Amino acid sequence: MIKTGFMSSPGAGVASHGEGRAWACGFLARYGVAAAAVTVAFSVRYALYGDLDNRLPFIFFVPAAIVAAWYGGLGPGLFAAAAGLLLGDYFFLPPHHALGPVGDAGRVAVGLYTVTTVLGVVLIEHLHARIRRLECTLHKEREAQAAQRTAAGGSLTPGDGTA
């Protein structure tokens, strides 16, 4: 069994080997972390509303989406990004407490937030996919080495003085 600090997604060919902190936690844990990250981001941004007013409406939602993607993968990361977009638009972009049409500055803020957050989430997912492939390769290599030791007449361990 390969144990690492990173996660493996279901169906990636590696999750069956038992690795993957977040994927082992399941759907609710992964999306729960995403919701908690967005809630914390919203709370901090809301507390600073008077200081920041209409500036930087999405600033705390970007790290929330990144944390969600790191912990839960692509789905929770995109969920956090979408939730941050909706909350930021509704509460922090004029006109307040309304979704929809925004001015030029609002469109720029929405566009930058969307591009930055989706890019970060997708890059983290690609990093996780590469890690899963490397874990799978490592697992196969260890299985092959174990089979070779068994075929050679016993389980030899490194450092026991035998070749």
Dist CA 51 CA 21 (whole Å): 38
Quick one: pLDDT at residue 74? 95
* pLDDT surpasses 70 at 23: no
Q: Is the dihedral of CA 156, 159, 162, 163 positive or negative?
A: positive
Instruction: Supply the DSSP symbol for 16.
Output: G
Give the residue ranges of DSSP H helices in the chain. Answer: 21-25, 27-47, 49-52, 61-72, 74-92, 104-151
Q: What is the pLDDT of residues 41-91, one digit of tens each?
A: 999 998 887 766 677 889 999 999 999 999 999 999 999 999 999 999 998
Angle, helices 104-151 vs 74-92, to 10°: value is 160
Residue among 78, 56, 75 at smallest CA distance from 65: 78
Instruction: Supply the DSSP symbol for 15.
Output: G
